[in-house]
């Protein structure tokens, strides 16, 4: 099934792509030209953000069936890859039709990151490597990893240098993702952008929140615009893209070269269909009825089953049920039973009980999805903020349980 069945519904939320001009008044190419990351060309300047336990091969294929974009594999730790960790290697699974093999890598040691990048390029045929410096999880930041690491500017440069050096013989572009900084008093994104540019990165993506914000509040799109003005490499904006119209607004307001979409597509893989249409200047907003949503749910479960086997695939699918049915009057009993399915037959029986003609809940448009949390103080190693230089070595535990950012 290449897309949501049935005609797309115009929800009136998406207009034609506005023309953009440089700050000096000169014309610029429209975003419909796509996105170039080194030798990798993406027809639609949209990137699926890696999400732990979500952006596996099945979900990436489901999203790609909706529209063009760059679909990035779940994040893998460099140490796990170098040490041939079974779980890490199992995540390096790609669909037959996955033309661009894109992987997000996380690491804290320059040498280990370099080795991991070479493994990805030489042994797994990866076409693009993204390095993550955005994880706000306390057990990571307290060791100096994740979104805390860019504070150590020299170390950040060393990691990026080793990654680019290892990828260069294979012609594989390296990009990085970061947050604004640790908190509003310790911002790092402009320095990170300059370091990324100086070390040869093909692009930088900025989540417009600090580590202290986690996923709460509003993303600061102004910071994305400031970063775009400060560097010459492509800048990708991330944060609060819930509908295709939001992506157009971000590009228009910040001048960024593309967008990174994370939580907005949870339970809504057809968002990539809307994004592709919007960047082509077409007025399309997909508002599938419940029958169309259940068809996508079944397709998702099938793809998971092809990868993991029917039972494991259905178990893995359970986490997606609440996202797909968000706002629909499906009933608590059906939702609960869907959260325990372990076979296609059980899934089909429950999905058939839902009224296929129920319209999409428009109240769910433009609102946050997935985790949000609340602002909190970032836990850091003792004396971490005293200097931008790294003294000693980071604790290897900083690579444990990383979840993106």
11's enclosing H/E stretch is: none
Largest CA distance in the chain: 62
From first CA to last CA, the distance across the chain in angstroms is 31
* CA-only gyration radius of the chain, Å: 21
What is the helix, strand, coil percentage profile of the chain, to 5?
40, 15, 45
Q: Which two tokens stand for residue 215?
A: 């996923």
Contact yes or no for 44/68 (Cβ under 8 A): yes
- Which positions are catalytic? 135
Instruction: Say which DSSP state 21 is in.
Output: B
Cβ atoms < 10 Å from Cβ of 190: 17
Output the CA–CA distances (angstroms, integers) from residue 322 to 48, 211, 242, 325, 398, in the order listed.
Answer: 20, 27, 17, 5, 31
């Amino acid at each position: 099934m290449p897309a949501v069945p049935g005609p797309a519904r115009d929800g009136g939320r998406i207009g034609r792509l506005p023309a953009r001009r440089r700050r000096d008044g000169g014309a610029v190419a429209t975003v419909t030209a796509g996105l170039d990351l080194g030798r990798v060309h993406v027809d639609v300047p949209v990137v699926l953000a890696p999400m732990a336990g979500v952006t596996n091969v099945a979900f990436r294929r489901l999203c790609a069936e909706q529209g063009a974009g760059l679909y990035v594999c779940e994040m893998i730790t460099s140490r796990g890859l170098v040490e041939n960790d079974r779980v890490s290697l199992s995540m390096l699974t790609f669909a037959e039709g996955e033309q661009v093999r894109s992987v997000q890598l996380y690491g804290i040691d320059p040498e280990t990151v370099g080795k991991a990048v070479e493994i990805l390029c030489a042994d797994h045929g990866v076409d693009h490597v993204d390095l993550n410096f955005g994880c706000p999880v306390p057990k990571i930041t307290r060791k100096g990893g994740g979104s805390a690491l860019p504070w150590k500017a020299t170390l950040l440069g060393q990691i990026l240098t080793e990654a680019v050096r290892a990828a260069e013989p294979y012609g594989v572009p390296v990009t990085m993702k970061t947050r604004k900084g640790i908190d509003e008093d310790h911002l790092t994104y402009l320095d990170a952008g300059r370091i990324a540019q100086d070390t040869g990165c093909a692009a930088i993506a900025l989540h417009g929140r600090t580590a202290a914000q986690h996923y709460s509040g509003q993303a600061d799109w102004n910071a994305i615009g400031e970063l775009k003005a400060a560097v010459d490499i492509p800048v990708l904006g991330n944060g609060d893209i819930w509908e295709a119209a939001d992506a157009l607004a971000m590009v228009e307001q910040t001048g960024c070269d593309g967008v990174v979409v994370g939580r907005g597509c949870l339970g809504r893989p057809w968002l990539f269909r809307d994004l592709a249409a919007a960047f082509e200047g077409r007025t399309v907003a997909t508002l599938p009825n419940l029958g169309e949503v259940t068809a996508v749910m079944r397709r998702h479960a099938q793809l998971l089953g092809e990868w993991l086997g029917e039972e494991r695939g259905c178990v893995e699918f359970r986490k997606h049920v609440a996202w797909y049915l968000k706002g629909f009057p499906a009933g608590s009993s059906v939702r609960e039973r869907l959260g325990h399915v372990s076979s296609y037959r059980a899934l089909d029986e429950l999905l058939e009980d839902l009224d296929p003609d129920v319209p999409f809940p428009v109240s769910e448009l433009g609102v946050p999805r997935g985790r949000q949390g609340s602002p909190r103080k970032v836990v850091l190693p003792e004396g971490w903020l005293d200097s931008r230089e790294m003294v000693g070595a980071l604790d290897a535990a900083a690579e444990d349980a990383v979840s993106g950012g």
